[in-house]
Amino acid sequence: MNLLTRKLIAKELHVYRWLLVGGTAAGLAGLLSAASGEIGFNIGFIVWLTAIIALGVMLALFGVASERKERSLLFMLSLPLSPGDYVRAKLLGLLACFLLPWAALSAGALALILVMPGIADGLLPYAVLLCVFLLLNFALVLCGALHIASEAAMGGLVILTNMSISLFMMGVGRIPAIGQYMLAASPVWNAAFWQLLAAELALTLLALSLPLLFAARRRDVL
């Protein structure tokens, strides 16, 4: 990774620093609310989940779609980078922006399950799968933003990916090998968990790889 690419990644972190701070603060506030009791848990979980989802969508829309619309990417023509190099820097920069709050909020959610006596530790595998799915959701939205120029199509993608989170939460809980252990006193890391986790990670890597593969063939900016 050359110096200019590192500077472009640092630029993304600087530009969206307050968005990252605000999203992380909202998610942590949700976790604190979740520790206050049953009602607080339900409200806090929604706040935590919304903070991560909204942060990912805003990073993709502001970081790619809005720059494309405002033609602010024209400054790239003055840089000693190919269009493919710029796409790579943009992808890595926005990914770094999301990973920092995602990692903090995911770790906080898992710690909450372990620390709170009223929450069954059996929820840990489910929580891990949900956190990784949220990362996959961001990867899909970011991949779409880097490839889709139509605002309507991009809006449809955001709706579909957000709907998929609710479907995932319901579907995974109904898998016998996962759901029957969610209220257990200790977590069960069985084959079904590892298979689902492997599938999520593979799809995440695929979604993040597609822009890099197509970037090598680009002849223009995003």
pLDDT tens digits for 154-210? 889 999 999 999 999 999 989 999 999 998 989 999 999 999 999 999 999 999 998
What pTM does this model have?
A: 0.90
pLDDT tens digits for 41-75? 889 999 999 999 999 999 988 888 666 665 555 56
Widest pairwise Cα distance in the chain: 59
CA dist 105 → 15, 86, 152, 209 (Å): 21, 29, 31, 25
Dist. CA 108–CA 31, nearest whole Å: 7
